[in-house]
Amino acid sequence: MTTIRDVAKRAGVAPITVSRVLNRSGYVRPETRQRVEQAAAELHYVPNMLAHSFRSHRTNTLALVVTDITNPFWTTVARGVEDVASMAGFSVFFCNTDENETKQAQYIAALLRRRVDGVLLAPAASSGADVHALQRQNVGVVVLDRRVEGVAVDTVRGDSVDGAFQLVRHLTDLGHRRIALLAGPAGLSVSQERAAGYERALRAAGLPLDPSLMHFGAFTVASGHAMMRALLAHRPTAIFAANNFIAAGALTAMREAGLHTPEDISVVVFDDLPDPYVTTPVLTVVAQPAYTLGKAATERLLERLRQPELPVRDLVLPVQLLVRRSTAAPAPQ
Partner DNA sequence: CTGAAAGCGCTTACAG
Pick the closer one to a second copy by CB: 75 or 126.
Answer: 75
Choose among 147, 150, 174, 151: nearest CA to 159: 147
Residue 137 DSSP label: T
**3 state SS of 144:** strand
Q: How far is 246 from 225, CA to CA, in rounded Å?
A: 7
Q: Among 283, 281, 291, 278, which Cα is nearest to 317's?
A: 291
Say if CB 229 and CB 222 are below 8 A apart.
Answer: no
Which partner in DNA, a second copy, none is near 212 (CB below 5 to 8 A by kind)? none
DSSP H or E segment with residue 227 = helix 221-232
The residue range among 41-49, 147-155, 180-188, 292-300 that interacts with a second copy, by the rule CB under 8 A, is 41-49
**Interaction of residue 148 with a second copy, rule CB under 8 A:** no
Position 316 contacts a second copy (CB under 8 A): no
Residue 307: which of a second copy, DNA, none does it interact with, CB under 5 to 8 A by kind?
none
Q: Is 94 a binder of a second copy (CB under 8 A)? A: yes
Looking at 110-118, 142-150, 151-159, 175-183, which segment touches a second copy (CB under 8 A)?
110-118
* Dist CA 14 CA 7 (whole Å): 9
Helix, coil or strand: residue 330? coil
What binding mask, one character per residue, do residues 14-53 give for DNA by CB under 7 A, x or -?
A: xxxx-xx-xx-xxxxx-xxx-------------xx--xx-
3 state SS of 132 = helix
**66 counts as binding a second copy under rule CB under 8 A:** no
Residue list 226-265, contact with a second copy (CB under 8 A): 244-245, 248-249, 251-252, 255
- φ, ψ for residue 149, nearest 5 deg: -100, 145
Q: How far is CA 17 from CA 5, 35, 46, in A?
A: 10, 11, 16
| Structural contact between residues 192 and 159, judged by C-beta atoms closer than 8 angstroms | no
List the single partner that 237 binds among a second copy, DNA, none, CB under 5 to 8 Å by kind. Answer: none
**Which residue number, 33 or 225, has a Cβ lying nearer to a second copy?**
225
Q: Using CB under 8 A, which of 19, 59, 155, 191 touches a second copy?
A: 59
Q: Which residues bind a second copy (CB under 8 A)?
A: 46-51, 53-54, 59, 69-72, 75-76, 78-79, 82, 86, 91-96, 107, 110, 112-115, 137, 221, 244-245, 248-249, 251-252, 255, 273-280
